[in-house]
Amino acid sequence: MKQSKRFRAVITKVDRRTEYDLDAAIAKVKECATAKFDETVEITIGLGVDPRKADQMIRGTVSLPHGIGKTVKLLVLCREDRWKEVTDAGADFVGLDEYITKIQGGWFDIQSIIATPDVMPVVGKVGKILGPRGLMPNPKTGTVTNDLATAIKEIKAGRLSFRVDKYGILHIPVGKASFTKDVLKENILSLIHTVQRMKPQSAKGQYVKAMTLSSTMGPGVKLNKTVIMAGIK
Total structural domains within the chain: 2
How many whole angstroms separate alpha carbon 143 and alpha carbon 54?
A: 20
CATH classification of the domain holding 130: 3.40.50.790
Query: pTM of the full predicted structure?
Result: 0.74
Half-sphere exposure of 163 (CA within 13 A, CB side): 19
> Which of 136, 157, 178 is the last residue in one of the domains?
157
Domain span holding position 203: 15-67+160-232
What's the CA dihedral at 37, 38, 41, 42 to 10 degrees? Answer: -50
Is residue 21 domain-resident?
yes
- Let me know whether 166 and 52 are in one domain: yes
Q: Which residues contact residue 113 at a Cβ distance below 8 angstroms, ignoring those fewer than 6 apart?
A: 74, 75, 76, 77, 130, 135, 136, 137, 143
Distance (Å, whole) CA 141 – CA 144: 8
Angle at 227 (CA atoms; ends 176, 163), nearest 5 degrees = 50
User: 166 and 62 share a domain?
Assistant: yes
Interval 159-214: pLDDT, tens: 888 889 999 999 999 999 999 999 999 999 999 999 999 999 888 889 999 999 99
Q: Higher pLDDT residue, 4 or 48?
A: 48
Q: Do 127 and 172 fall into the same domain? A: no
- The pLDDT, as a whole number, for residue 233 is 62
* pLDDT tier for residue 12 given thresholds of 50, 70 and 90: confident
- Identify whether 9 is part of a domain: no
In a domain, 5, yes or no: no
Residues 122 and 224 in one domain: no
Answer for the pair 139, 145: CB distance below 8 angstroms, yes or no.
Answer: yes
Q: Are residues 141 and 181 in the same domain?
A: no
The answer as to whether 205 is a domain residue is: yes
* Residue 4 placed within a domain: no
Contacting residues for 207 by C-beta, under 8 A, at least 6 apart: 47, 48, 49, 196, 199
Boundary (domain end) residue, out of 111, 135, 157: 157
165 and 153 in a single domain? The answer is no
Average pLDDT over residues 121-130: 96
The DSSP output letter for 106 is T
Q: CA 76, CA 21: separation in Å to the nearest integer?
A: 41
Residue 202, domain member (yes or no)? yes
Whether residue 16 is predicted with pLDDT greater than 80 in this model: the reply is yes
User: Measuring CA to CA, which residue among 172, 155, 154 is closest to residue 163?
Assistant: 172
Closest residue by Cα to residue 43 from 26, 59, 56, 27: 26
CATH of the domain at 228: 3.30.190.20
Asked if residue 84 belongs to a domain, the reply is yes
91 near 74, Cβ under 8 Å? yes
- Same-domain status, 104 and 164: no
Say whether both 62 and 170 belong to one domain: yes
Q: Residue 96: pLDDT band by 50, 70, 90 thresholds?
A: very high
Same domain? 24 vs 92: no
Dihedral angle at the C-alpha atoms of 157, 194, 151, 141, nearest 10 degrees?
140
Question: Which are the contacts of 114, defined by CB distance < 8 A and separation ≥ 6?
Answer: 74, 75, 76, 77, 91, 137, 143, 144, 145, 148, 151, 152, 155
* Residue 206 belongs to some domain of the structure: yes
What are the pLDDT digits (tens) for 32-86? Answer: 999 899 999 999 999 999 999 989 999 888 888 888 887 789 999 999 999 999 9
Q: Do residues 21 and 82 both lie within one domain?
A: no
